[in-house]
Copies of this chain bind each other. A is one copy, B any other.
Amino acid sequence: MAIKFALLGCGRIGVMHAQNLAQADGARLETVFDPNVAAAEAVARANGCTVSTSAEDAVDKADAVLIATSTATHADLIELAAKAGKAILCEKPIDLSLDRVRACRKAIEGCKVPIQIGFNRRFDPGHRAARDACAAGKIGKLEQVVITSRDPGMPPRGYTAVSGGIFRDMTIHDFDVARFMLNDEPTEVFATGSALVDPTIGSEFGDFDSIMVIMRSADGKLCHINNSRRASFGYDQRIELFGSEGMIISDNKKAHELKLYGSTMTDAAEPYLNFFIERYAEAYRAEIAAFIAAIRDGRPTQATFDDGYRALVLAEAAVESARTGKKVEVRDIG
């Protein structure tokens, strides 16, 4: 029997999730809800499902809920679905406030539903293969992780105002990837940043668009993250694992393997896949497949509520470090 899904949120990422649910083995998209009724109806029409009149209504009709609404509603909807006993796949972050995440955690204590946070990069075939190869000892003992993560372009100005800042909004993916790759907890965080792409991001919002982070784990492993809100050559997503006996790089993806040669260049490839919808298309499908498998097999999900919490703790630590100019002990945050 296919698991019946309710999709909450029919924005850009919701539309994508709807298509993936419609084609996923073992899933059926039952209903969608969005306060923007036209958006919900368009998704319902394209994927042959019903439109619900409220989130509660949608949750009622389903076995599992995919939460793709705006960040501010995530925690409420998790609580709603958890109390209704429905499995939950929720886009990251759980919330921008650590306190709210802690309250949510408390509120759903005892609800035995599977919860998976939308850390899509954990399910990217290349990143996953990198972690597996590392876990299999292919590079000996892991010593350094270097994460390069640059978006193709600045988000709309309105988004920046409510994003919670680059560390909570964008770097949070990389904090999760760092934990996933380190297979260990960072204990110290140093972070700094600049507003180079758009200086008014700094002057108006006190935010950065270019950041660098160093983290250290209890046993001394080192991890570097760099971010930019704008890469002219496409979505720049690279992970490097350096170990005692080798190195693994999970490199960028292109639409195809064309190379151009001429009087001024050789080996020139196309710009990278533009953004997360394209770059992580397979990852998004795989995260749904993994979620379905976790429900079916009664096993823990591969990106838990606690993973969502831990990534946010690292983001908090980064915010604090960038403010004070000191490395922050993670245990002082949460």
Contact = CB atoms under 8 A, between A and B. Distances in A.
Contact of A220 (B125, B130, B210, B271): B210
Interface stretch (A10-18, A111-119, A240-248, A306-314): A240-248
Interface in A236-286: 236, 242, 244-272
Contacts of A133: 258, 260
A271 B260 contact: no
A267 to B, nearest CB: 5
Given A190-B327, A214-B212, A267-B267, A246 B220 contact: no
A248 to B, nearest CB: 6
A258 B129 contact: yes
B262 A270 contact: no
Given A192-B214, A220-B195, A148 B146 contact: yes
Interface string A193-227: 11111000000000000111110100011101010
A158 to B, nearest CB: 23
B144 A232 contact: no
B245 A262 contact: yes
A164 interface: no
A190 B192 contact: yes
B251 A232 contact: no
Interface stretch (A30-38, A51-59, A135-143): A135-143
Nearest to A214: B212
Contact of A216 (B192, B224, B256): B192
Given A133-B258, A214-B190, A196 B23 contact: no
Interface string A226-238: 1010111110100
Interface of A: 23, 124-126, 129-130, 133, 138-141, 143-144, 146, 148, 150, 188, 190, 192-197, 210-214, 216, 220-222, 224, 226, 228, 230-234, 236, 242, 244-272, 325-327
24 contacts: A126-B258, A139-B260, A143-B210, A144-B210, A190-B190, A190-B192, A192-B222, A196-B220, A210-B220, A212-B222, A213-B214, A224-B226, A232-B262, A233-B246, A233-B263, A233-B266, A234-B266, A246-B263, A248-B260, A248-B261, A265-B270, A266-B268, A267-B268, A268-B268
